[in-house]
Structure 1
Amino acid sequence: MYRYDTYDQTLVDERVAQFRDQMDRYLAGRLGEEEFRPLRLQNGLYIQKHAPMLRIAIPYGMLSSQQLRALGSITRRYDRGYGHFSTRQNLQLNWPALEDVPDILGELAKVQMHAIQTSGNCIRNTTSDQFAGIAEDEIEDPRPWCELIRQWSTLHPEFAYLPRKFKIAVTGADEDRAAIQVHDIGLRLWRDAQGELKVRVLAGGGLGRTPMIGDVVRDDLPWQHLLTYLEACVRVYNQFGRRDNKFKARIKILVKALGTEEYRRRVDAEWAHLKDGPQTLTQAAVDAARAHFPDPERRAVPEQAIADFERLRADNRAFSRFVTNNVTSHKVPGYKAVTLSLKRREHAPGDVTADQMDAVADLADRYSFGEVRVTHEQNLVLSDVPVDQIEALWQELETLGMANPTVGTLNDIICCPGGDYCGLANAVSIPIAQALQERFEDLDFLYDLGPLDLNISGCMNACGHHHVGHIGILGVDKKGEEYYQISLGGNATDDASLGKILGPSFYREDVPEVIDKVLKVYVEQRHDDERFLDTYRRIGLKPFKERVYA
């Protein structure tokens, strides 16, 4: 994974010193609230419902075991002993004291971490496929390209105050596991018939108050021009994006207002000044980035061990369930990627305790070359586990409460912190997730349903990605009361779609029963081997609506 050079470390250390001085002046009353606000946002610090919230960057979702231990230590010393992994592959602390934040940033800098550009109207953390570099269907490892984008966008002097926040996602596989179609900019790496690497660029996607699927603005961009073309895309947005209304300030509104062709024309006109300029990528620059992501020195796994693994899977039902749902194929025979579930009723989805962080760091050292991945589904991944060690890993995960064999099922819920923490939320999210997990805990029932994405957001900002859940739940406010709106048919993968609202919203206590009725329609109506999304697209919204509102 990427390691800081002296320039990176100096930049992060100097940023910590800057913010320490800014915080001292604020606490002493020499900086007012309005003066301090942009300074704290530049360092990932929000003022939430009950306490400050600090969002820590995890570039493209990659952590070393050392970094994960540092996060565990920080949550013990400065928070309440746990953190929350978000859908942007970052970690959020919900209870830090304001005066401790500079010290937290100082601790992060010691392990090559920071909170720069995790908030504010700037280019945020670039996200990617959690199986980058090891996926069987991968065409190009997106991590070096994510790193090049990170270096280009960090403290970019022209893009510090964009009309609104800006999010980029990159995929390099046949299957889109990075939800590129619902980002401000989505990038797909692919190769033409001659084997040349090209980039498909999508713009204008996003969720929130006005959800939209991104449009292709460039299908075959040569890789050398990635940064200059991105610069042109963001420049056009920076110049023409609306600043008079924050609800209409995202790039998706600009692309929609101009039309894709006109937006493309303006980008091309801007790109004409940048193309072949100093930011044009060279093979040497790309090779340098790739050098930070070498394959680990994997031992050969004997054929007998692979056979024994399959035999154990056949003989042990509990182990088989874990492997089927939480273990993913790998480009190297004899290795697998293992997803650690962070979905338990005792904790909010995505929450992990300091003790669990320490334990996972130890597991990463023993089983996966000291590396951990964060998924945008709010789970963790050990990416390089030999099959002859998966049973031992599974047993340890059982002890930690991270072996729930429910990844990809109804109970693998994506959920924002909601009204329990967030001052923007209209309603709570976590109790809804917990009620659904309790209602639908039977594993045989979950497996019979098949793959099913259920996403929950506490407000229209859509941090829980409810628009692209097969089933989406949105908390809404009606005259001071919490209600919940249900949508069906969303999807974040290659055939992306936005969910359609089922009808009038529901009381909180009614949500589990409503979801039960929706699932019953699916079970009754599905054809053999149909997923929920397949059935919904075949029969439409009407049968679900009739059952729920009968």
Structure 2
Amino acid sequence: MYRYTDFDRQFVHQRAAQYRDQLERHLRGELSADDFRPLRLQNGWYVQRHAPMLRVAIPYGELSSRQLRQLAKIAREYDVVSSGPFAGQGGYGHFTTRQNLQYNWIPLDKSADVMDLLAAVDMHGIQTSGNCIRNITSDAFVGIAPDEIVDARPYCEILRQWSTLHPEFAHLPRKFKIAVSGAEEDRAAILWHDIGLQLKKNAAGEVGFQVFVGGGMGRTPIVATEINAFVPWQQILVFIEAIVRVYNLAGRRDNLYKARIKILVKAEGQKFVDAVNAEFAAILADDAGGNEHLIPEAELARVKAGFVDPEGVRPAPAIDVAALNAEPAYQRWLQRNVHGHRVSGHRAVTLSLKRVGIPPGDTTADVMDTAAALADRFSHGELRVSHRQNLVLPWVKEADLPDLFQAARAAGFATPNAGRLTDQIACPGGDYCALANARSLPIAADIAERYQDLDELEDLGDIDLHISGCINSCGHHHSGHIGVLGVDKDGTEWYQLTLGGSDGSTLSGPAVAGKVIGPSFAADEIADAIEAVLDTYKAQRLSGERFVDAVKRLGLDPFKAAANAVRVATARA
């Protein structure tokens, strides 16, 4: 893991102190709510439906056990409602699809104390909100995946440092998100981001980036467009600066719904590409024969030194891990939640946070402490936060898998459903978010309860179910094989159903937005409609055919008919 330098540490502590001064002035009435709002947003503090919400950055998903314990302490001691109509709420955090952790119940007058606690373990909420470059995300298996071309972590860290409080890009037309992948398979959904970066090696073995621009979900789901097939790594900050500068100058500021870069790229087409290339050339020419705008070799080497394998991780002869425990539950867990590794004799393991009665991504303080203990025992004190709202142990010895399985099962982490229907993605929805039109969590809970039979889940195969409470698509419903979108009709919760979406991974196929099937469903119909869709798939699939492939082959009509039959049956009842 990257270790903060003295400068890094001083920076976040000074930022926390600055925020404390701003908060105290606000509480004394010296800063109005309007004046304080952009200051708190720059540090990750929102005001949600019932209470403040803090979003904590976990850059490219890497997390130490020490940091996770601190997050647990914050949940236990500060994310608590002691009185009033919501007494007893809190005590947990919510892992998001963009490798952040959110708290929903921290009182604003305690927020500066929380910032100090985060800074004490090299964490913060800087630029997790606002119209700026947000948390840099990557593959949860970055640095360990067997299909990795280039370890993306050093480049992600350089991007994080470059973009943090960049003075030119502090007030962009809208929020801006960058995702990086260094593997053959895209597990970071890079084509659904404002900028998606794919690390490559050319014929000479030189490292560079394939650059995609203009992806995003929301009201207008658009898959990103390739803008450059190979930018040498030394020049990548210059090229990104050119993109963001053109966007900053030409992006819409008069219409919130047309302000994202995806709208500009779609409207301008080649004109946008030409403007970026011209700005790129101008910045390089400004060097006057030097390299002041390029990433120095020494700087890359310095950052890379923070990403060496943990002490004690050495290649070892691979063993037959299936033979270590014949128990069917272990074998199923091994198949679904244990993943390959670039270092022989090691595996990565998903700790599933998907449990009946617990919203996707939610985790209590006690659960965080238990996960930290497992990381210390089995993974050199390191974890990852995944795009799928789970935790990953990245450095597990193959010989330790049986013991890890027993410990994970005892702690509730061993549900063997990675990539299955109940490994669903969901935003907090209308239970917490002031922007949401409908609740996400009851739908997620209904599906989780209906599909607990592991044999049935295995029979259904790989299915991505994504749920969003509003069109902002924090639950990434557009990219789900099955997507659920909450909508409001005269103050009543309704839900649109989409099929055939993909995030771009091997599991899903090329990135594409799902298509809506029919009118919206009432809250008490949507789970039945999903069940009808799945029953249609089981009845009409070919041998070995995945759900998303069956949707492509059959088209939407048979699934639409099955789902609409639920509405008709409900009306008759």
TM-score scaled by length of structure 2:
0.94
Q: Which residue number corresponds to residue 23 of structure 1?
A: 23
Against the structure 1 CA distance between its residues 440 and 239, is the aligned structure 2 distance closer, same or farther, given a 3 Å change threshold?
same
1:128-143 equivalences in 2 (<5 Å): 128-143=138-153
Q: Which residue number corresponds to residue 61 of structure 1?
A: 61
CA contact 2:529–2:564 (8 Å) conserved in 1:
no
Q: Which amino acid aligns with 2:311?
A: E
| Alignment partners' CA distance in 1, 2:265 and 2:315 | 51
Aligned-partner SS, 2:169: coil
1:435-454 equivalences in 2 (<5 Å): 435-454=446-465
Q: Which amino acid aligns with 2:379?
A: S
Q: Which residue number corresponds to residue 164 of structure 1?
A: 174
CA contact 1:301–1:386 (8 Å) conserved in 2:
no
| Alignment partners' CA distance in 2, 1:98 and 1:349 | 25
Measure how far apart 1:301 and its partner are. Answer: 7.4
Identity of paired residues, percent?
56
Against the structure 1 CA distance between its residues 27 and 500, is the aligned structure 2 distance closer, same or farther, given a 3 Å change threshold?
same
Q: Which residue number corresponds to residue 85 of structure 2?
A: none
The alignment status of 1:274 with 2:283, answered yes or no, reads yes
Measure how far apart 1:302 and its partner are. Answer: 6.3
- The RMSD of aligned alpha carbons is 1.2
Q: Which residue number corresponds to residue 343 of structure 2?
A: 332
Measure how far apart 1:197 and its partner are. Answer: 1.1
CA contact 2:200–2:209 (8 Å) conserved in 1:
yes
The alignment status of 1:520 with 2:529, answered yes or no, reads no
Q: Which amino acid aligns with 2:102?
A: Q
Aligned-partner SS, 1:292: helix
| Alignment partners' CA distance in 2, 1:57 and 1:213 | 25
| Alignment partners' CA distance in 2, 1:511 and 1:392 | 40
CA contact 2:314–2:343 (8 Å) conserved in 1:
no
Return the match for 2:319 from 290, 306, 314: 306
Q: Which residue number corresponds to residue 487 of structure 1?
A: 498
| Alignment partners' CA distance in 2, 1:403 and 1:222 | 42
| Alignment partners' CA distance in 1, 2:359 and 2:522 | 21
| Alignment partners' CA distance in 1, 2:305 and 2:543 | 47
Measured against aligned partners, the alpha-carbon deviations of 1:93-119 in whole angstroms (never above 9, x if no partner) come to: 100000100010001111111110000
Measure how far apart 1:529 and its partner are. Answer: 2.1
1:500-511 equivalences in 2 (<5 Å): 500-511=515-526
Against the structure 1 CA distance between its residues 272 and 299, is the aligned structure 2 distance closer, same or farther, given a 3 Å change threshold?
closer
Measure how far apart 1:512 and its partner are. Answer: 1.7
Measure how far apart 1:285 and its partner are. Answer: 1.6
The alignment status of 1:393 with 2:404, answered yes or no, reads yes
| Alignment partners' CA distance in 2, 1:278 and 1:459 | 44
1:183-222 equivalences in 2 (<5 Å): 183-222=193-232
| Alignment partners' CA distance in 1, 2:277 and 2:58 | 32
Measure how far apart 1:300 and its partner are. Answer: 5.5
Q: Which residue number corresponds to residue 303 of structure 2?
A: 289
| Alignment partners' CA distance in 1, 2:563 and 2:425 | 23
List gaps (5 residues or longer) in structure 1: none
Q: Which residue number corresponds to residue 366 of structure 1?
A: 377
TM-score scaled by length of structure 1:
0.98
Measured against aligned partners, the alpha-carbon deviations of 1:223-263 in whole angstroms (never above 9, x if no partner) come to: 1110000000000000000001111100000001101x211
Measure how far apart 1:297 and its partner are. Answer: 3.1
Return the match for 1:226 from 219, 228, 236: 236
| Alignment partners' CA distance in 2, 1:161 and 1:444 | 51
Q: Which amino acid aligns with 1:336?
A: R
| Alignment partners' CA distance in 2, 1:207 and 1:367 | 37
Aligned-partner SS, 2:53: strand
Q: Which residue number corresponds to residue 391 of structure 2?
A: 380
Measured against aligned partners, the alpha-carbon deviations of 1:417-473 in whole angstroms (never above 9, x if no partner) come to: 001100100000011000011111111111111111000000000000000000000
| Alignment partners' CA distance in 2, 1:222 and 1:330 | 27
Measure how far apart 1:409 and its partner are. Answer: 0.1
Q: Which amino acid aligns with 1:161?
A: H
1:149-160 equivalences in 2 (<5 Å): 149-160=159-170
CA contact 2:316–2:344 (8 Å) conserved in 1:
no
Measure how far apart 1:492 and its partner are. Answer: 0.3
| Alignment partners' CA distance in 1, 2:190 and 2:69 | 30
Q: Which residue number corresponds to residue 428 of structure 2?
A: 417
Against the structure 1 CA distance between its residues 242 and 301, is the aligned structure 2 distance closer, same or farther, given a 3 Å change threshold?
closer
| Alignment partners' CA distance in 2, 1:301 and 1:179 | 30
The alignment status of 1:8 with 2:8, answered yes or no, reads yes
Q: Which amino acid aligns with 1:48?
A: Q
Measured against aligned partners, the alpha-carbon deviations of 1:200-225 in whole angstroms (never above 9, x if no partner) come to: 00000001111100000001111111
Kindly tell me the number of residue pairs found equivalent between the two proteins: 546
Against the structure 1 CA distance between its residues 214 and 338, is the aligned structure 2 distance closer, same or farther, given a 3 Å change threshold?
same
| Alignment partners' CA distance in 2, 1:157 and 1:377 | 32
CA contact 1:86–1:378 (8 Å) conserved in 2:
yes
Q: Which residue number corresponds to residue 329 of structure 2?
A: 318
Measure how far apart 1:408 and its partner are. Answer: 0.4
Measure how far apart 1:299 and its partner are. Answer: 5.2
CA contact 2:533–2:562 (8 Å) conserved in 1:
yes
Return the match for 2:273 from 256, 264, 276: 264
| Alignment partners' CA distance in 2, 1:403 and 1:301 | 26
| Alignment partners' CA distance in 2, 1:451 and 1:52 | 36
Q: Which residue number corresponds to residue 475 of structure 2?
A: 464
Q: Which amino acid aligns with 1:107?
A: L
1:116-135 equivalences in 2 (<5 Å): 116-135=126-145
| Alignment partners' CA distance in 1, 2:108 and 2:241 | 35
